Amino acid sequence: MLAKTRTLGLRGIDGYEVSVEVDVSAGMPTFAVVGLPDDAVRESRDRVTAALRNCGYDFPLKRVTVNLAPAEVKKSGSHFDLPIALGVLAASGQMSEEAAAQAAGNYFVGELALDGFLRPVAGVLPMLSSVARGDKAFVPEQNSGEASVSGTEAYCATSLRAVVDTLEGKTQAVPCVDSQTTDGTSQNPGIDFSEVKGQPLAKRALEIAAAGGHNVLLVGPPGTGKSMLAKRFAGILPPLTTQEALEVTRIYSVCGMLGTHRLISWRPFRNPHHTISDIALIGGNVPPKPGEVSLAHNGVLFLDELAEFPRTTLEVLRQPLEDFSVAISRAKERVIFPARFTLIAATNPCPCGYRGHPDRTCSCTPLQVKRYLSRMSGPLLDRIDMAVWLSPVKYQEWRGPAAGETSAQIRDRVLRARRIQRERFAGSATTANAFMTPKEIGHFCALDEDSPPILEAGMKRLGLSARSLDKILKTARTIADLEGKATISKTHIMEVMQYRAVDRTTLIEA
């Protein structure tokens, strides 16, 4: 006897429909799963067999064949357990015709424990987001939160027995209900910009970066506050919009990192160690999974000790910094992950860290310094909007009270600037000044009559590329937004110029 159910698969962070066909026929007792299953899907044979028996059902001692269509697409994950089990029950006649019809018309997602209870699975939100309006889906109770915001009519269940009873009409389906709220609060509410003493130029650069989504490089000797400033950057960022929250949550759902959250309510702040591999940073494996650059989507990627990263690892950042996405290609699969993030990087100026220190002598040779800084290539530095040199904090500044602005005060200005940008880019895919297209730069970055000569002089003196000039205009546009100005003036251009010292020689001598 043949029975069909429906479930969903994942391709990157997008879902697609999978038809589960189960045939129970006479022959030697076997259980075969076909349709390019991975190890987790093949192991469903043992989980489904034990779950059926422990729920009081009989596993048919016949030839059982399960086909996952489309057969040419590789299937991965443990969420195929529930639809396979329902298909076996329907094909073996242990469900009524009405229940079997219900099983064939709805979507089912869930991993089975050996006792028949449902365990949560990864990727429920992106999978359900692909379901057509009007269709219904059943998911594990622990995935109820993310299912409730998917836009699909979703129901939660605790066990295989509970799902069958619902299909038989013995119990009512329980709709997935959202019990959480998205408040946009910071994930690190205990740290504040007011705790950072001195470094007014770096604070200003980070405020501009938060207002426009610009990349920043912090350079200075150890103990000047580079990491301290970067870790407080998330506290001045605007809250996620609903659309941004959904984009971030889809990524974390696929990675199984969502936990009990129904939506990620803060901008991600990713801080990988400098020993990270290329694949972990950019994404990959089989099947392809998002890397740190995608986990930082709509948030911050903080690379501390930038010059300690292998050059090959840093070079993989060039494409996502330019395209705001990552294309992962494998022999049989190609997926695209979003990667629109703000890069905050920090590094010492040399291996010992004291090159340019006013009171301590650097012990590095010129060759050591050159090798150290050569890990940051010119093309990578060209994609950084602002670079700031941090000098050691004087004793008087350290000893005195913290009199700087709080994160809340800075955040208010950032929010005003972001509101201007939200109105400016209404109806387009651009979310901040840093992500403007060349056409948008020409339309929105109008200069006053005194600014072009300054740009030309800066290009000749600093040897700036066309990309650097675009970044100067984008950053100047953000400064103008912070001041509520419609036109970019020469003062805005001059302020940006002081942050454009991104070549290695200038950084060392700053």
Reported as a single tens digit per residue, the pLDDT across 350-363 is 999 888 888 888 99
pLDDT computed for residue 274 by the predictor: 94
pLDDT computed for residue 187 by the predictor: 53
Q: How many whole angstroms separate alpha carbon 432 and alpha carbon 416?
A: 13
pLDDT for 325 beyond 90 = yes
Which domains does the chain carry? 2-175 (3.30.230.10), 193-509 (3.40.50.300)
The set of residues, in sequence order, having a beta carbon less than 8 Å from that of 181 and lying 6+ positions away, is: none
Packed helices 81-91 and 44-54: angle between N→C axes, nearest 10 degrees: 60
Q: Which of 12-26, 166-180, 367-381, 485-499 has the lowest mean pLDDT?
A: 166-180
- Nearest C-alpha neighbor of 224 from the set 360, 378, 363: 360
Which class for 134: exposed (0-12), middle (13-18), buried (19 or more C-beta within 10 A)?
Answer: exposed
pLDDT for 505 beyond 50 = no
What integer best gives the mean pLDDT of the chain?
A: 89
Q: Report the half-sphere exposure of 98 (CA within 13 A, side-chain side).
A: 6
User: Span 143-172, mean pLDDT?
Assistant: 91
User: Span 81-106, mean pLDDT?
Assistant: 92
pLDDT for 103 beyond 60 = yes
pLDDT computed for residue 449 by the predictor: 84
What is the helix (H) or strand (E) element at residue 139, kind and residue range? Answer: strand 136-140
pLDDT computed for residue 184 by the predictor: 41
**Dihedral sign, CA of 46, 10, 175, 249?**
positive
pLDDT computed for residue 460 by the predictor: 81
Give the C-alpha distances (Å, rounded to integers) separating 119 from 110, 111, 478.
6, 5, 47
Packed helices 466-482 and 200-212: angle between N→C axes, nearest 10 degrees: 90
User: Span 204-222, mean pLDDT?
Assistant: 94
Go through the chain and tell me how many residues it has: 510
User: Span 502-510, mean pLDDT?
Assistant: 47
At 189, the pLDDT band (50, 70, 90 cuts) reads low
For residue range 45-92, list pLDDT tens digits in order: 999 999 999 999 999 889 999 999 998 888 998 999 999 999 999 999
Contact between 161 and 129 (Cβ < 8 Å) = no
pLDDT for 508 beyond 90 = no
pLDDT computed for residue 186 by the predictor: 45
For residue range 261-297, list pLDDT tens digits in order: 778 888 999 999 999 999 999 998 878 889 999 999 9
Q: Which of 256-260, 267-271, 386-390 has the lowest mean pLDDT?
A: 256-260
pLDDT computed for residue 510 by the predictor: 41
Contact between 486 and 480 (Cβ < 8 Å) = yes
pLDDT computed for residue 188 by the predictor: 55
Burial annotation 443-462 (CB, 10 A radius, 16+ → b, else e): ebbebeeebeebbeebeeee
For residue range 124-139, list pLDDT tens digits in order: 999 999 898 888 999 9
Tokens coding 3: 């029975």
Q: Which of 213-222, 283-292, 458-467 has the lowest mean pLDDT?
A: 458-467
Q: Which of 18-32, 173-187, 220-234, 377-391 has the lowest mean pLDDT?
A: 173-187
For residue range 396-436, list pLDDT tens digits in order: 777 767 667 889 999 999 999 999 999 999 988 899 999 99
For residue range 425-447, list pLDDT tens digits in order: 998 889 999 999 999 998 999 88
User: Span 99-112, mean pLDDT?
Assistant: 93
pLDDT computed for residue 264 by the predictor: 86
